[in-house]
């Protein structure tokens, strides 16, 4: 059985953690890894990013029927695997250790487990919400969404949160267009600067360096 590595993306509401999880999952797949995204958020929305807003096969139904979680898997054309819940169902916590071996890299959206990374917006309410209610000794770092904001710089945010800033991302208009189409931006525009930055970040998390290949004419 493959040994799984986990990354949990958590944070205050509205910080883009679901959007980031969806795109980051595809970035890891592009780098050659077997990846599973798990949406056990109390307000599940991952399905919207993949054109499955109301999934029939859900984590909750599978557990309630005492079936293997493999029965609930959805598979994206890229090979990315998804375990989803429906926003029409009540939240049901479960033991994330049941996921072990289902993929090399397991991304958990919105819930703490292992290697917790906190997404924040660079403003005082978002940061203080994270500091008071979310960041703990298991938090390995933070991600800033809306990086072009000038309200709190990365250095100030890092000091307030007492954690390293791992990545800065701009939740731009193209993200909204991608969501309308039910695909992550990484899939919609793989050569976009956002996608390149995400590949670099995913490589950094793996302890590697992403090499950008540039074609030379002549």
Identify whether 88 is part of a domain: yes
Q: What is the mean pLDDT of each run of 10 residues along the chain (218 residues)?
A: 87 90 96 95 92 95 93 96 94 90 95 92 89 91 78 82 87 79 91 90 83 42
pLDDT at 216: 35
pLDDT for position 161? 85
- Determine whether 207 is exposed, middle or buried from the number of CB atoms within 10 Å of its CB (0-12, 13-18, 19+): exposed
- Tell me the CATH number at 79: 3.40.50.300
Question: What token pair was written down for 47?
Answer: 């399905």
The pLDDT of residue 207 is 85
**pLDDT confidence of residue 149:** 62
Return the DSSP state at 87: T
Q: Specify the number of domains making up the chain.
A: 1
Q: Which domain holds residue 52?
A: 5-205
| pLDDT for the residue 210 | 63
What does the pLDDT read at residue 209? 65
Residue 211 lies in a domain: no
């Amino acid at each position: 059985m493959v040994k799984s590595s986990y990354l949990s993306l958590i944070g205050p509401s509205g910080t883009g953690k679901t959007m980031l999880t969806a795109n980051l999952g595809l970035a890891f797949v592009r780098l050659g890894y077997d990846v599973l995204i798990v949406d056990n958020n109390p307000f599940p929305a991952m399905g919207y990013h993949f054109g499955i807003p109301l999934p029939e096969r859900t984590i909750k139904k599978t557990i309630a029927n005492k079936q293997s979680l493999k029965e609930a898997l959805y598979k994206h054309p890229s090979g990315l695997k998804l375990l989803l819940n429906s926003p029409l169902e009540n939240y049901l916590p479960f033991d994330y250790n049941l996921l072990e071996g289902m993929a090399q890299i397991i991304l958990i959206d919105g819930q703490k487990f292992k290697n917790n990374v906190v997404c924040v917006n660079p403003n005082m309410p978002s940061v203080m919400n994270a500091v008071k209610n979310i960041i703990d000794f298991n938090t390995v770092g933070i991600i800033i969404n809306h990086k072009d904001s000038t309200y709190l710089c990365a250095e100030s945010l890092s000091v307030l949160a007492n954690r390293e800033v791992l990545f800065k991302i701009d939740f731009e208009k193209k993200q909204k267009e991608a969501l309308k189409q039910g695909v992550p931006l990484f899939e919609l525009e793989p050569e976009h600067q956002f996608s390149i930055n995400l590949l670099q970040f995913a490589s950094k998390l793996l302890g590697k360096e992403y090499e950008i290949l540039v074609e030379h004419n002549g």
